[in-house]
Amino acid sequence: MRSALQRIADNIVENLTLSARALVRPPRLPIKAQSLATIVIAAALVVAAALCMVLLDARAVDLARGEPDWFRAAFEDITRFGLSGWFLVPCGVVLLVLAAVTSPLLTTPAQAVLAALGARFGFIFLAIGLPGLFVSIVKRLIGRARPFVGGHEDPFAYVPLSWHPAFASMPSGHATTAVAAAIAIGAIWPRTRIVMWLYAVAIMVSRVAVLAHRPSDVLGGALVALIGTYLIRRWFAARGLVFRASDLAAKPAPSFARVMAALRLSMSPRKFGS
């Protein structure tokens, strides 16, 4: 039993090390596609956030302040699903499990299936986690006051370099997580896009409804998510992982049947020589 556990631990360390090396190795493939759509959307978000700051932020906050209690309570429940842990924890668990069960003793096809699955969950983890980490730092450097901090609403109240949560309004971390999740998961599994974007919009609206952010804050979060997921997608594609270098489209994913077959093989006692 102890020997089997030791081998599992060794597998985790070895496979996580190999994954890290695959991510940091020099690019193998040139990225031919330049996403004009991403540039246009990013520019539109910048313009929209600037206009919201001047024209919409104060009005939206005043409107949200007059909401009935039951309405705000509903969005208080919804907004909790914008926390990054809803995605990072399951992805992290899946990655650890895959690292534990993947072994050189498996057949080459089985190793390839588990590696392809791990690369996809690794992309989702990084595409959500890295933009979220960036926002967690930069929002405290910007120091924009949240709605009604100080007893009155001022969309232009800033205390730069403040690390107090009351001055961490721009950009919205929840919006960053929701939009990054919608883009990343939708890029790998296109059939989920409608559901994921409905989720992202609901989270963005909820942040204004609960008076945690203004519209320009959630648009700023969406901008960070858009740029962050695009850069991470290019990083993976340049190393031949998950996406094609020619157009950044997702490579064919292993079928559910192949994944289950590989997992059954990985759980076989014969893999550990017992």
| DSSP code per residue over 159-201 | -TT---GGG--SS-HHHHHHHHHHHHHHHH-GGGHHHHHHHHH
State residue 34's pLDDT score: 65
Look at residue 27 and tell me if it is in a domain. Answer: no
Look at residue 229 and tell me if it is in a domain. Answer: yes
Look at residue 261 and tell me if it is in a domain. Answer: yes
Look at residue 23 and tell me if it is in a domain. Answer: no
Look at residue 25 and tell me if it is in a domain. Answer: no
Look at residue 45 and tell me if it is in a domain. Answer: yes
In the chain, the number of structural domains is: 1
Look at residue 72 and tell me if it is in a domain. Answer: yes
Tokens of 118: 């791990």
What backbone phi and psi angles, to 5 degrees, belong to 28? -100, -25
State residue 30's pLDDT score: 83
Q: pTM for the complete prediction?
A: 0.92
- Tens place of pLDDT for every residue, the chain, 274 residues? 557 677 777 778 888 888 888 888 888 878 766 678 888 999 999 999 999 999 999 999 999 999 999 999 999 999 999 999 999 999 999 999 999 888 888 888 999 999 999 999 999 999 999 999 999 999 999 999 999 997 888 889 999 998 899 999 999 999 999 999 999 999 999 999 999 999 999 999 999 999 999 999 999 999 999 999 999 999 999 999 999 998 899 999 888 899 898 888 887 755 544 4
Look at residue 26 and tell me if it is in a domain. Answer: no
Identify which of 155, 105, 74, 95 has the alpha carbon closest to the alpha carbon of residue 4: 105
- State which residues form the domain around 140: 2-17+32-272
